[in-house]
Amino acid sequence: MILTPPRRYWLTGASNGVGAALAEEILKTGAHLAASSRLLAPLKALSQRYPGQVLVVAGDLTNSQTVREIGEQIATQWGSLDTVILNAGTCEYVEARQFDTSVVEHVVRTNLLASSYCIEAAIPLLRAGIAPHMVGMASSVTYLPLPRAEAYGASKAGMRHLFESLRIDVAELGIEVTMVSPGFIDNPLKPKNDFPMPLNWAADKAARDIFAKIKDRPLEIALPGMFMAALWPMSKFPGRMKLAIGKRMVRSNPPIMDQP
């Protein structure tokens, strides 16, 4: 009898939120997981709960050299990867009255550039893998411009184009690419959201839904379904109508940071 080797995953942002819940879903199948995060302690705890299944590859993914070293560590330990899930990211809001380019720089570096560093490290490993699959975490914000989302939305729109273009170019290498576009999900970034979040999902529920759908390798996974059903038609509205929708969501009294 020929035994099928455990599937090998690399998951970024694995220490909390949807990433931590996805790690659990992956490991429960008996797969092996290379888990990345800036925080080392949660990854060590994960490896203790699933002995022999977890390769801890912690580090700052905005540092290209660190990502190359993570890729080298995975190559040394495993030689290949079958699935890569680029989930790590951040969300910071922009206040137009005191526009701070450092916020844009930080968010773009964390979401877009870090993803590109990971792609560079992952492609050679996926090419050596079995039925290789790459998954990128975009956002529903790419469908409709939202207030204060200049940095976050720009980074996620960039990620969408990055992965959708990549899908075309790596097809000849046998690598499939899936985009995930979540709506409002409970995670450590949620307290920053001081506005209503319709159809908010718990992280573990979102992770179960994402992991179940990843197996079918769709071009895109959008969730929650009801939220997307309402949001997607809005993305087709004329520009002036989008502007009107966005204006209704602006806070009436944005904070002025230089006031006591």
Min mean pLDDT across 43-47, 168-172, 226-230, 239-243 is at 239-243
Domain with 95, as residue range(s), is 8-249
State the average pLDDT for the chain. Answer: 85
Q: Look at residue 182 and tell me if it is in a domain.
A: yes
Q: Look at residue 259 and tell me if it is in a domain.
A: no
Q: What are the phi and psi torsion angles at 44 (to 5°)?
A: -65, -40
Q: Look at residue 245 and tell me if it is in a domain.
A: yes
Residue spans of beta strands (DSSP E) within the chain: 8-11, 32-35, 54-56, 83-86, 133-137, 176-182, 220-223
For residue 245, the domain's CATH number is 3.40.50.720
Q: Look at residue 260 and tell me if it is in a domain.
A: no
State percent of the chain over pLDDT 70: 79
Residues sharing a CB contact under 8 Å with residue 94, sequence separation 6 or more, in sequence order: 100, 103, 104, 148, 149, 150, 151
* Partners of residue 121 on adjacent β-strands: none
Q: Look at residue 112 and tell me if it is in a domain.
A: yes
Q: Look at residue 212 and tell me if it is in a domain.
A: yes
pLDDT digits (tens, 9 = 90+) for 66-110: 999 999 999 999 999 999 999 999 989 888 888 999 999 999 999
Q: Look at residue 2 and tell me if it is in a domain.
A: no
Prediction pTM value: 0.83
Residue 211 is predicted with a pLDDT of 97
Q: Look at residue 162 and tell me if it is in a domain.
A: yes
User: How many domains is the chain built from?
Assistant: 1
pLDDT digits (tens, 9 = 90+) for 148-160: 888 999 999 999 9
Residue 144 is predicted with a pLDDT of 72
